[in-house]
Structure 1
Amino acid sequence: MKKITTILNDFNELVMFKHSIFSLPFIFIAMIVSSVEVNGSPWFGFKLLILGVLAAITARNFAMGFNRYMDRDIDALNPRTINRPNVDGRVSATQMLVFVIANALGFIVVAYFVNDLAFYLSVPILFVIGSYSYFKRFSYLAHVILGISLALAPIAGVVAVSETITLWSILLSIGVMFWVAGFDLLYSLQDIEVDKELGLHSIPSKFGPQKTMLISKVFHALTVLFWLLFAISSNSGMSAYIAVIISAVMLSYEHYLVNKDFTKIDKAFFTVNGYLGIVFFFLILIDSF
């Protein structure tokens, strides 16, 4: 039992399972809004609830597992990542590959039981979320690719409930894309020197800290704009607009923390963004009644 627990903990650390907090709220935001449109109620049923959770977990496990598998050589040269399970031997390359394949197949199977459109989109979605691991090797736009990967979450949510892709879900997703890309830019400030040494491409290593923080601010301003357009397009009530306002305040606070002290990047990245998604979700849920 102890050995199993150790293995589970190692894989949990490998994929940073707690970071699911970034995408899960927006999957269910889309599912709730879509269910109100289709069913007249925010409740979309236990079947879609279970399948939605499984789809989110398997997709993210695939993406993170594949990224760790591809980056094991890079992570071994970065002091910040040298103690990760993919580097120190706790999880072997073979184990990671099996884990990645299992989660990819799991995601496709789950999508099959959701509906036809979800199934048809499952492989293209895996292709997109797996491509991030390659982009940073040749393009500084990798931050945007990561944003697109998480932005697929609301699209997946609306497809699961209504088997369509609506305008408001696209606007919500674009907001998620800029949100994720913006905070990934701040997080990447920690690796400027390492990226330069290893020849990796990132906006911080290409443009420097000050321009990176400016680009991040622009991205987060666009986040607020597209989430506002989402609220308008989905005919949402006052709670949705409050969610947008609170998001703007939290993102401003995030930039305040980083501008004040680079050592606060972890707090800005994990704490502020984690709470943002949760608050947004609950306010949309309240708005749906």
Structure 2
Amino acid sequence: MEKLTKLLNDFNELVMFKHSIFSLPFIFIAMVVAANGWFGFTLCILGILAALTARNFAMGFNRYLDRDIDALNPRTVNRPNVDGRISPSQMAVFVALNAIGFIVVAYFVNDLAFYMSVPILIVIGSYSYFKRFSFLAHLILGVSLGLAPIAGVVAVSETIPLWAILLSIGVMFWVAGFDLLYSLQDIDVDKQLGLHSIPSRFGAKNTMMISRVFHLLTVLFWLLFVIVSNSSTFAYIAVIISALMLSYEHYLVNKDFKKIDKAFFTVNGYLGIVFFVLIVLDNL
């Protein structure tokens, strides 16, 4: 029992389970708006399972492929995929089980969700390759999480309306923008290892400017989402608060690079929760 508990803790560390907070709110934001309120207990459970299995697949696949890179980065050298706590074969089984789990969950949601399940896995898995040949990897990560609202609305209505696309594009730029800030920590390692990233190619100052542009686009597309979805007061407040929180995030990083973790985890985690709560209030 003790060994099993330790293994579960190691896998929890491997995929950073707590970071699910970034994708879960926007799946349910789309579901709430699509249903104009509560979408049912069954879809709630299926939505959670889909989000968790998709994210576990993506993170597990990333850690499996990146174990050689992580072993050369002082920031990641103590991860379970590097220090031997989790073997490559265990990671491969974990990835396969979560991929199968995601497809099975999608099957029970509806036909469109099932047909989209494998393409979604291909997209979210491709992020792990991009840093090896393109600095656009940050945007691919954004696209991966940006699929969350699309998945949410498909689960409820089996369609993809314009407002969901606008919400998803906003999520894409939001994630890409904060990933740029987070990747500033690895700028020197990326250069040494020949990895492609915006910080290693354009430098820290330009990266921060690009991140600000991405987050301005985030606010713009979320505003368009609110307008097109015919949402009302609480949704507009959600956009305003998001803009303020993103501004605070950039303030933290500009003031002190050591606060990147606080900007990345705390600010963005609360942003998703606040946005979700206000959208729920808007649809009561």
TM (norm. structure 2) is 1.00
Q: Say yes or no: does 1:31 pair with 2:28.
A: no
Q: Say yes or no: does 1:286 pair with 2:273.
A: no
Distance 1:45 1:192 in 2: 45
Distance 1:207 1:14 in 2: 30
> Structure 1: which amino acid aligns with 2:147?
L
Q: Say yes or no: does 1:124 pair with 2:119.
A: yes
Distance 1:5 1:230 in 2: 43
Q: Displacement of 1:82 after TM fit? A: 0.1
Alignment of 1:59-74 (within 5 A): 59-74=54-69
Q: Displacement of 1:43 after TM fit? A: 1.0
> Structure 2: which amino acid aligns with 1:238?
T
Q: Displacement of 1:2 after TM fit? A: 1.5
Q: CA RMSD in A?
A: 0.3
Task: Select which of 241, 247, 255 maps to 1:246.
Answer: 241
Q: Say yes or no: does 1:214 pair with 2:193.
A: no
Q: Displacement of 1:238 after TM fit? A: 0.3
Alignment of 1:101-116 (within 5 A): 101-116=96-111
> Structure 2: which amino acid aligns with 1:225?
L
Distance 2:225 2:14 in 1: 34
1:123-144: per-residue Cα shift (whole Å, max 9, x none)? 0000000000000000000000
Deviating above 3 A after TM superposition, structure 1's stretches of 4 or more consecutive aligned residues are none
Please list every run of 5 or more consecutive structure 1 residues that lacks an aligned counterpart in the other structure: 37-41
Q: Say yes or no: does 1:261 pair with 2:256.
A: yes
Q: Give the % identical residues.
A: 82
Alignment of 1:1-289 (within 5 A): 1-36=1-36, 42-289=37-284
Q: Displacement of 1:3 after TM fit? A: 1.3
Q: Displacement of 1:4 after TM fit? A: 1.2
> Structure 2: which amino acid aligns with 1:18?
K
Is the partner of 1:127 in helix, strand or coil? helix
Distance 1:14 1:130 in 2: 16
Please list every run of 5 or more consecutive structure 2 residues that lacks an aligned counterpart in the other structure: none
1:79-115: per-residue Cα shift (whole Å, max 9, x none)? 0000000000000000000000000000000000000
Distance 1:49 1:2 in 2: 32
Q: Displacement of 1:190 after TM fit? A: 0.2
Distance 2:86 2:122 in 1: 24
> Structure 1: which amino acid aligns with 2:4?
I
> Structure 2: which amino acid aligns with 1:22?
F
Distance 2:173 2:148 in 1: 14
